[in-house]
Amino acid sequence: MSLSELLAPEYDHEIAVTREVLKRVPDDRGEWKPHPKAFAMGHLAQLVARLPGWVPMMFDRDELDIMPTTGPKFPGYSFETTATLLAEFDRNAAAGRAALLAATDDALAQPWTLRRSGAVLQTDTRYQMLRSMVLNHQIHHRAQLGLYLRLTDQKVPEIYGPTGDK
């Protein structure tokens, strides 16, 4: 069994759970944040919607600079409806799954580098970077979003077991 075949069920599970959290984000609370230094709920939800799109990007290039000093920049954050975020998430999740399933073990063993303003933040195999920069990163921000939901009196879906709302 290939690495991508081993990773696909975990990807599918985490994507399904993440979608359940994302669909609970209220349209009218995008600017809400629990602390002045925190991300706004709408921006956090947009990040969660975009993260699965990193999978095909990680196979299209060998590195990414998240704050390049020259050239194209990442798109900024905006406040979107939950329906718009879910559509973006669904597109990214499908593209991510297709890229993952198409990946060979050799491609997953190749190095991939994350930079910020030219400085190397992390280099590891694509496999490990997919685990840390996509799956684990997704889980981390999904958990933050779940807390935001709780703090704004939204129902929190089951993630790895029952919540106070079940």
Tens-place pLDDT, residues 67-114: 999 877 777 899 999 999 999 999 999 999 999 999 999 999 999 999
Residue 75, pLDDT score: 79
Q: Are 32 and 80 in contact (CB under 8 A)?
A: no
Burial pattern 151-160, b for ≥16 Cβ within 10 A else e, equals eeebebbebe
Q: Is the pLDDT confidence value at 25 over 70?
A: yes
* Residue 163 belongs to some domain of the structure: no
* Residue 145 belongs to some domain of the structure: yes
Task: Give me the half-sphere count of Cα atoms (radius 13 Å) on the Cβ side of residue 12.
Answer: 8
Average of per-residue pLDDT across 110-137: 96
Residue 146, pLDDT score: 96
CATH number of the domain residue 124 falls in: 1.20.120.450
Q: Which domain holds residue 111?
A: 3-151
Instruction: Tell me the C-alpha distance between 44 and 111, whole Å.
Output: 28
Adjacency order of strands within the sheet including 63-65: 63-65, 111-116, 119-125
* Residue 165 belongs to some domain of the structure: no
β-pairing verdict for 119-125 and 111-116: antiparallel
Domain count, the chain: 1
Instruction: Tell me the C-alpha distance between 164 and 116, whole Å.
Output: 39
β-pairing verdict for 63-65 and 111-116: parallel
CA-nearest of 144, 143, 111 to 129 is 111
* Residue 54 belongs to some domain of the structure: yes
Q: Is the pLDDT confidence value at 166 over 70?
A: no
* Residue 142 belongs to some domain of the structure: yes
Average of per-residue pLDDT across 56-62: 96
* Residue 24 belongs to some domain of the structure: yes
* Residue 162 belongs to some domain of the structure: no
DSSP SS3 for 113: strand
DSSP one-letter code for 28: G
* Residue 161 belongs to some domain of the structure: no
